[in-house]
Chain A
């Protein structure tokens, strides 16, 4: 809470300064504010992020210069005709190859920062496991937001090397792109061509816009501090009791952990996007009503979209159309697709967390998506034969809940580094006793939450569902968002905001938990 309070105070200072600053200086206020904000997380973190910024800047400039020189020389030689076409092509290929190496160096350097801080213990563990050694693992704490910012940085360098983006010449501007504070907790992963024009544009204060942003940020706070943290208690309890829950563990976790992660992650995004919206800067929508997805592939187009987009554009496509992949296609036309998908998902898993269980999680998702892709003709035939059933509502619902179940099941792999144990618990979940155990009232009371707290969770889920339903799909420009509709009635908004603030304060889980027994007089 004290952290969130510090954030509120930070905003209370930054926002007035931002809107009162001379127009051309607005982005500088934002830059200074973002650096100060990041500085609060520690000097070490600040140094890491500055190092990252410098790497990205230098490689961006180098890549841009190489591209400029190539164009210049080719143009000159084409004009005076001193080089024939093959010579020109050979020169171009040489330049492209050099840029590839340059880009690779930049990406490796960027990733090495992440490797040192995020994957140190995994690397050491793996070495110990393979070689039977026992080096102690230095557990460094990952600098705030580094996972997200690293991907944003890579996308910037790749875009520059492809010639799709002019490199930023102003180091300060690039620094703001890396340091922009709302993205620091949970992303989204940004693209320079989308974010930069907004960062450096002039924004004057706009009351309805600010109200929309505030509503969204507060709603995010409710989701995160109230719903996610309260469910988190139950998740923790289930985690601790995993030994004697058997297969029921899996069912409970699919249910509870799905609620927790949804409330936490979408809540975090609502805060980031809401705050950014107040400033007039639109960040990439990371979620598109993800729990309404009707297939796993569809789910991954709606959940954590900025990450999905990154891995599709910068890992999956390059891998699948690479020369090596295309050579594989001679063996089988499906081979490039399969290898690229599985490698991409393994990397996605590794990015989510430094543990082999995350790789298993990624591979599960990849395999499931590939299999359903291969089964598409079968599904189509079913649709042709039973068109009435295929288009019916119950079947859609079945697909949706099946998807929720599947991603929820895969997600339980997050919870324990011992993937083998989780997989065995999946197996035990299929037994009748595991399902029956779910309806045992004593199980629910044993999780340590009061009836009031379960009621609060239920209420939170209901509210999230209603708000989700009222939220238009991403890209739907015709339907006004819930915030837009509410902001037309400021008085109503004032009441809603007040209620949300007090709800966060009262029902939120933060600080020391209250236990009446602690406060009863002991013997002194």
Chain B
């Protein structure tokens, strides 16, 4: 799953070291348009439905956080 998320993100930001970045939102790498693109891609890739409530910096700051969120939403 992490690998897939990294792929999606790298397509959006090829120059950023996605794997080791832990402040994707806080440092302004992902702007609101990126986040929506990302949500759409994640929804399609993992067949989940990320609601607006989940769009918090803490859920989008790193690949790890993203994976945790997707897993949690998939689990319910």
Residues of A within 8 A of B (CB): 89, 162-164, 297, 301, 312-313, 316-318, 320-323, 326, 329, 333-334, 336-337, 340-341, 369-370, 373, 380
Nearest B residue to A315 by beta-carbon distance? B52
Instruction: Please determine whether A333 and B36 come into contact, CB atoms closer than 8 angstroms.
Output: no
**B41 beta carbon closer than 8 Å to chain A:** yes
Q: How large is the interface on B (under 10, 10 to 19, 20 to 34, 35 or more residues)?
A: 20 to 34
Instruction: Please determine whether A326 and B43 come into contact, CB atoms closer than 8 angstroms.
Output: yes
Contacts A321-B52, A337-B40 known; 7 new A-B pairs at CB < 8 A: A312-B32, A321-B49, A321-B50, A333-B37, A333-B44, A337-B33, A340-B36
Instruction: Please determine whether A321 and B33 come into contact, CB atoms closer than 8 angstroms.
Output: no
State how many angstroms separate the Cβ of A74 from the closest Cβ of chain B: 13
In the assembly, what is the distance between CA of A301 and CA of B32, in Å?
10
**B9 beta carbon closer than 8 Å to chain A:** no
In the assembly, what is the distance between CA of A373 and CA of B12, in Å?
10
In the assembly, what is the distance between CA of A320 and CA of B50, in Å?
11
Nearest B residue to A297 by beta-carbon distance? B31
Instruction: Please determine whether B39 and A162 come into contact, CB atoms closer than 8 angstroms.
Output: no
| Number of cross-chain contacts by CB at 8 Å | 57
In the assembly, what is the distance between CA of A312 and CA of B31, in Å?
10
A-chain residues with CB within 8 Å of residue B28 when the two chains form the complex: 301
A-chain residues with CB within 8 Å of residue B15 when the two chains form the complex: 380
State how many angstroms separate the Cβ of A225 from the closest Cβ of chain B: 35
State how many angstroms separate the Cβ of B37 from the closest Cβ of chain A: 6
In the A-B complex, the 4 residue pairs with the smallest Cβ-Cβ separation, listed nearest first, are A318-B52, A320-B36, A317-B52, A312-B32
In the assembly, what is the distance between CA of A323 and CA of B52, in Å?
11
Cβ contacts A to B, 5 pairs, < 8 Å: A312-B32, A316-B32, A317-B55, A380-B14, A380-B15
In the assembly, what is the distance between CA of A415 and CA of B53, in Å?
37
In the assembly, what is the distance between CA of A323 and CA of B43, in Å?
11
For chain B, what secondary structure do more than half of its interface residues adopt (helix, strand, loop), or is it mixed? helix
In the assembly, what is the distance between CA of A162 and CA of B43, in Å?
21
Instruction: Please determine whether A321 and B31 come into contact, CB atoms closer than 8 angstroms.
Output: no
Partner of B55, one of A321, A337, A341, A370: A321
Instruction: Please determine whether A321 and B14 come into contact, CB atoms closer than 8 angstroms.
Output: no
Instruction: Please determine whether B36 and A321 come into contact, CB atoms closer than 8 angstroms.
Output: yes
Instruction: Please determine whether A333 and B40 come into contact, CB atoms closer than 8 angstroms.
Output: yes
B-chain residues with CB within 8 Å of residue A334 when the two chains form the complex: 37
B-chain residues with CB within 8 Å of residue A89 when the two chains form the complex: 76
Nearest A residue to B51 by beta-carbon distance? A321
Instruction: Please determine whether B40 and A329 come into contact, CB atoms closer than 8 angstroms.
Output: yes
B-chain residues with CB within 8 Å of residue A326 when the two chains form the complex: 40, 43, 49
State how many angstroms separate the Cβ of A159 from the closest Cβ of chain B: 10
Instruction: Please determine whether A316 and B36 come into contact, CB atoms closer than 8 angstroms.
Output: yes
B-chain residues with CB within 8 Å of residue A373 when the two chains form the complex: 33
In the assembly, what is the distance between CA of A333 and CA of B39, in Å?
10
Partner of A301, one of B31, B35, B37, B51: B31
State how many angstroms separate the Cβ of A303 from the closest Cβ of chain B: 15
Nearest A residue to B37 by beta-carbon distance? A337
B-chain residues with CB within 8 Å of residue A316 when the two chains form the complex: 32, 36
State how many angstroms separate the Cβ of B15 from the closest Cβ of chain A: 7
A-chain residues with CB within 8 Å of residue B33 when the two chains form the complex: 297, 337, 341, 369-370, 373
Scoring B residues 36 to 76 as 1 if CB is less than 8 Å from chain A, else 0, what string do you get?
Answer: 11011101100001111101000000000000000000001
State how many angstroms separate the Cβ of B65 from the closest Cβ of chain A: 17
Nearest A residue to B53 by beta-carbon distance? A162
B-chain residues with CB within 8 Å of residue A317 when the two chains form the complex: 32, 35-36, 52, 55
State how many angstroms separate the Cβ of A330 from the closest Cβ of chain B: 8
B-chain residues with CB within 8 Å of residue A163 when the two chains form the complex: 53
